[in-house]
Structure 1
Amino acid sequence: MTRASLKFGDGPMKPVIAFICLGALTTLSCYSHAAEEDSDLPDWAEERVEPFRARIGNWVDNTSRNIDSFFGGDQSATVNNESYLRLGQEIDWMEGDGTSGDISLRYRIDLPTTEERLRLVIESDPEESQGTLADQGSGRLYNDQRDRSTSTFGLDWLESRDKRENWSNRIGAGIRLRMPLDPYVRFTSERLWDLGDGPWQLESFNRVSWFNNEGYSARTTWDVGRPLSANRHLRFITNVQWREEEDTLEYSEVAQLNQRLNNRSALRYSAIAIGESASNPRMTNYYLQTRYRRDIHKGILFGDVIPELHFQREDSYDPRWAMTLRLEMYFQREIQRDYFHF
């Protein structure tokens, strides 16, 4: 996978990038209110994109169902299958670091009928390979700071419990497909509570993992939120992570307001603080982020504009601008339009 890098002078670029971010968000937001069709593509582009999407989507679906039928049973042809393939193109700029372009391919093969509670899963980009919380917390660092060779093949045993009523646990084991082969074991537990009689909900996600080549890791996420209206949702997210490879306790706090502009566009405003170390706690990065996401074409082609303003400890908390432009195409037989994750 190739990656191009280009440096710019910081002085003149700062106001230019800021202007581009503001202009792009303003223009796209205004346009999103006006456009209510299901595609922004011209007719000639749609005629080329749709057959290509259908062929690849059908291939992904058929492949996963054939594998599922081999390991599972006859229901593989009718059961809901969440397999997908996602192709992305990203341009990432940060003041002082220059600009980089990247192409990514991510996939997940879901085999739901292997058994009622035992599920065979093939996926790329597992959570454990996604780097530090600083890497994960920013939507900008979506592709290039993650390990490319992180495909996993394994079995998950799921408890048939509703996480609204009990802790829902999942145990998985398998191998990461790289040389040398990397066996792993992981335990995941989730819970969801309604807080009183009001609209607030608290969700907990916890995972402990062991990879032979990297050792142990643990992560816990606590997410409390509530809808403010039919189109707005407020969230406060706490993450704590430890990885034996880094041997550092990391934590982050996120305040997030999600706003659905219409059925094809959304905005996310975030204020994020990231710190590390348990014995000598310190904050390493504060930043403000706005993410505009647009369904460009019929729930399969999405565009993101993500401006950020960072205040990093290593730079004496001097402000640094950053921006990402991203295109993603999803390949599934059944189109799923909700990729905003509110």
Structure 2
Amino acid sequence: MRPAIALFCVCAFFAPPLAADEEENDSDLPEWAENHVEPFRARVGNWVDNTSRNIDSFFGGDQSSSVDNGSYLRLGQEIDWMEGDGTSSDISVRYRIDLPTTEERLRLIIESDPEESQGTLADQGSGRLYNDQRDRRTSTLGLSWLERRDKRDNWSNRIGAGVRLRLPLDPYVRFTSERLWDIGEGPWQLESYNRLSWFNNSGYSARTQWDIGRPLSENRHLRFITTVQWREEEDTLEYSEVAQLNQRLNSRSALRYSAIAIGESVSNPRMTNYYLQTRYRRDIHKGILFADVIPELHFQREVSHDPRWAMTLRLEMYFQRDIKRDYFHF
């Protein structure tokens, strides 16, 4: 397994963009597979969109048929391997029902996993695991009040409240604030994301993330991300530092190179994990079917920082009426 991972990392780093005629082809599937996948995707995507709009129309009004709707359903299959821990596989389902016209600023949202269920920063930092694989009992139904502010000009705030749909029902309240600054006259930008929340069964949690980055070229973007998180049920302050280079190879493929450090505690601060990661993402079919290959090299404190290889292979399919081709948010 190690030679295969090392070979992939080298090949991925020096991989050239595909030729123009390859970019114009929007699918890697053979014709027989495409003929099966596309009708299925269209039926399920239309069902997801129509269902959310019908619910939105019941609560909100006639505008539900014309406004943008962020509802989606995502199915995924993942194989995860860590040296010393063996291989595991999982099938995941994630959904979000967005009801934008319930009120001008008050929005009803049903989703499969709240942010607070995503585990520790060690769980989140890798990006190898789906958020919804960490706790399958975290569907929420809630109202979110949105401020109509551009985060480039003012702090953009959002207040939400609702219940986690499991027995016993778990009420929650959440406050989120975001801001984006241009630094001087140059290309650098600084973005801040902050969240404070309370769940009846798990208590308080707080998270702040500061992301500074700039484009290096038309297809490359550099980011440095600092995250601090505290959760009452863990009662430990966690923090992470990430240096990240995103590279778009062509219209359907992208790479991300990351160096990540994760630590914890304030009274006795210590680093618990360092690792290097390469993530290759490919749009296999028309913005609805994606594949990820994610090799990593970990240096964990619990094993005396001895190097440990890890690899994740992931296939995911999105069901929406309007497909958004967003690889790495850059």
Same fold (TM over 0.5): yes
Partner of 1:60: 48
Partner Cα distance (2:265, 2:133) in 1:
22
| CA distances 1:248-303 after superposition (whole Å, capped 9, x unpaired) | 00000000000000010000000000000011100000000000000000000000
After TM superposition, the structure 1 = structure 2 runs for residues 107-122 of structure 1, keeping only pairs within 5 Å, are 107-122=95-110
CA shift at 1:139, angstroms?
1.4
Query: Over residues 107-141 of structure 1, what are the superposed CA-to-partner deviations in whole Å (9 max), with x where a residue is unaligned?
Result: 11111111111000111121100000000000112
Return the match for 1:104 from 92, 102, 108: 92
Conserved 8 A contact 1:25-1:305 = no
**Distance across 1 between alignment mates of 2:320 and 2:274:** 37
Confirm whether residue 39 of structure 1 aligns to residue 27 of structure 2.
yes
| SS in structure 1 at match of 2:266 | coil
Sort the Cα spacing of 1:141 and 1:335 in 2 relative to 1 into closer, same or farther, 3 A. closer
Q: Distance in 2 between matches of 1:200 and 1:17?
A: 34
User: What SS does the corresponding residue of 1:221 show, helix, strand or coil?
Assistant: strand
Question: How many residue pairs end up in the alignment?
Answer: 328
SS in 2 for 1:41: coil
Answer whether contact 1:158 1:171 (CA < 8 A) is retained: yes
Query: What CA distance in whole angstroms lies between the structure 2 residues aligned with 1:93 and 1:268?
Result: 19
**Structure 2 partner of 1:85:** 73
Gaps of 5+ in 2: none
CA distance in 2, matches of 1:57, 1:106: 14
Bigger mean CA deviation after superposition, 31-40 or 63-72: 31-40
1:332 CA displacement: 0.3
CA contact (8 A) 1:258 1:269 kept: yes
> Percent identity at matched positions?
84
| Deviation by residue 1:301-337 (Cα, 9 ceiling, x = unmatched) | 0000000000000111110000000001000011222
Give the unaligned 5+ runs of structure 1. 1-12
Contact 1:33 1:261 in 2 (8 A): no
In structure 2, the partner of 1:4 is none
2:246 paired residue number: 258
- Are 1:215 and 2:235 an aligned pair? no
**Residue number in structure 1 paired with 2:228:** 240
Matching residue of 1:267 = 255
Contact 2:253 2:282 in 1 (8 A): yes
2:138 maps to 1:150: yes
* From 124, 132, 137, the counterpart of 2:112: 124
Q: Does 1:190 align with 2:152?
A: no
- Match of 2:190? 202
Separation in structure 2 between the aligned mates of residue 33 and residue 280 of structure 1, nearest angstrom = 53
What SS does structure 2 have at the residue aligned with 1:65? helix
Whole-Å Cα distance in 2 between the matches of residues 93 and 210 of structure 1? 34
| 1:125/1:109 CA distance change after superposition, 3 Å | same
Q: Measure the CA separation in 2 of the matches of 1:330 and 1:151.
A: 19
TM-score (normalised: structure 1):
0.93
Within 1, Cα distance between the matches of 2:133 and 2:196? 22
Match of 1:308, as an amino acid? E
Alpha-carbon separation, structure 1, partners of 2:161 and 2:300: 38
Match among 143, 146, 164 for residue 152 of structure 2: 164
Letter in 1 for 2:98: D
Q: The residue matched to 1:70 in structure 2 has which SS?
A: helix
Matched, 1:308 2:296: yes
Backbone CA RMSD of aligned residues:
1.5
Return the alpha-carbon distance in structure 1 between the equivalents of residues 200 and 111 of structure 2. Answer: 18
In structure 2, how many angstroms separate the alpha carbons of the residues matched to 1:221 and 1:191?
11
CA displacement at 1:32 relative to structure 2 = 4.2
Aligned to 1:285: 273
Structure 1 distance, partners of 2:214, 2:310, is: 29
CA separation of 1:317/1:235 partners in 2, compared to 1, >3 Å: closer, same or farther?
same
TM-score (norm 2): 0.96
The 3 A distance-change label for structure 1 pair 163 and 31 is closer
Which amino acid in structure 1 is aligned with residue 234 of structure 2?
E
Q: One-letter code of the match for 2:162?
A: G
